[in-house]
Amino acid sequence: MIADLRKFDCGDLLVSPSLLAADFARLDSEIARVEKGGAELLHLDVMDGHFVPNLSFGGPVITSIRKVSKLLFDVHLMISHPEKYAASFAKAGADHITFHVESDDDPEAVIRTIRETGCTAGICVKPKTPAEAVFPYLDKVDMVLVMTVEPGFGGQKFMADMMSKVQAIRQEIDRKSLKVHLEVDGGVDRETVKPCIAAGANIFVAGTSVFRAPDGAEAAIAGLKHR
């Protein structure tokens, strides 16, 4: 583990550029670009072609990029059996691992397995899953991730109707006086980040709007942190 999510306050606005939108022929310089641009995290979308209808990359890519970056590796597992694979992603260089509450495994067991590796743990909800699905686990995780698109592909349209879910989860976190980060993922840019901030999210995953920003990653990242 290189970086620790627990060093950040849950009120801090943090940006986690999604590598899925980067130029895969130049991962080294693409990562350096967002690191210099002010990102705190790097979002790594792992897809298995089963839990979501797409394949991306796995452990070997993470092992390779670990050598060129000190960013907090924020691994988003969109896979059917997160419990089975969590340790291998930690070994590859993950600092934080998020899994889906809709996956086949028992969430408590997955959280325990992630913690045993030394990584921080996050739980994610797809658009059709209600906020209440993560309530039983709020005191056991470091982060909740609310999908603002159907998981599987970058470059989709932001779903504004997810904001009530973000708000409900933030309220429950605060009601229980917990220190849990709230991340949003999918279609987040300088405009759509505003309702996310208002609803109580503090970590913004952004692929297209950062890696493909016409005015550069630095301006895009600064725009995402503007209250």
Active site residues per annotation: 45, 185
* Residue 45 binds Zn ion, judged by CB under 5 A: yes
Q: Which of residues 92, 110, 206, 213 is near ligand DX5 by CB under 6 A?
A: 206
Burial of 45 (0-12, 13-18, 19+ CB in 10 A): buried
Kind plus residue range of the DSSP H or E element containing 179: none
Of 22-30, 82-90, 96-104, 149-157: span binding ligand DX5 (CB under 6 A):
149-157
Who contacts 52 (Cβ-Cβ below 8 Å, separation ≥6)? 78, 151, 152
* Residues near Zn ion (CB under 5 A), total: 3
User: Is 144:134 a contact under the CB 8 Å cutoff?
Assistant: yes
Q: Rule CB under 6 A: is residue 187 a binding residue for ligand DX5?
A: yes
Choose the stretch contacting ligand DX5; rule: CB under 6 A; options: 26-34, 90-98, 172-180, 184-192: 184-192
In single-letter form, the type of residue at position 141 comes to V
Q: Which of 149, 45, 153, 148 is nearest to 99 (CA)?
A: 45
To 10 degrees, the CA torsion angle through 160, 139, 99, 75? 90
Rg of the chain taking only CA atoms, in angstroms: 16
What is the rounded distance in angstroms from the CA atom of residue 29 to the CA atom of residue 78? 26
Helical segments of 14-106, H only: 27-36, 59-66, 82-92
Identify which of residues 3 and 224 has a Cβ nearer to ligand DX5 in the complex: 224
Using rule CB under 5 A, residue 76 touches Zn ion: yes
The reply on whether position 76 binds ligand DX5 by CB under 6 A is: yes
Residues 201 and 131: beta-carbon distance below 8 Å = no
What is the per-residue binding string for Zn ion in 162-201, x denoting contact by CB under 5 A? -----------------------x----------------
Which CB sits closer to ligand DX5, 50 or 176? 50
**Partner whose footprint covers residue 31, from Zn ion, ligand DX5, none (CB < 5 to 8 Å by kind):** none
Residue 74 binds Zn ion, judged by CB under 5 A: no
Q: Name which position in 58, 122, 207, 223 contacts ligand DX5 (CB under 6 A).
A: 207
Q: How far is the CB of 70 from ligand DX5 (least distance, A)?
A: 21
Which chain residues interact with ligand DX5 by CB under 6 A? 18, 20-21, 43, 45, 76, 149, 151-156, 185-188, 205-209
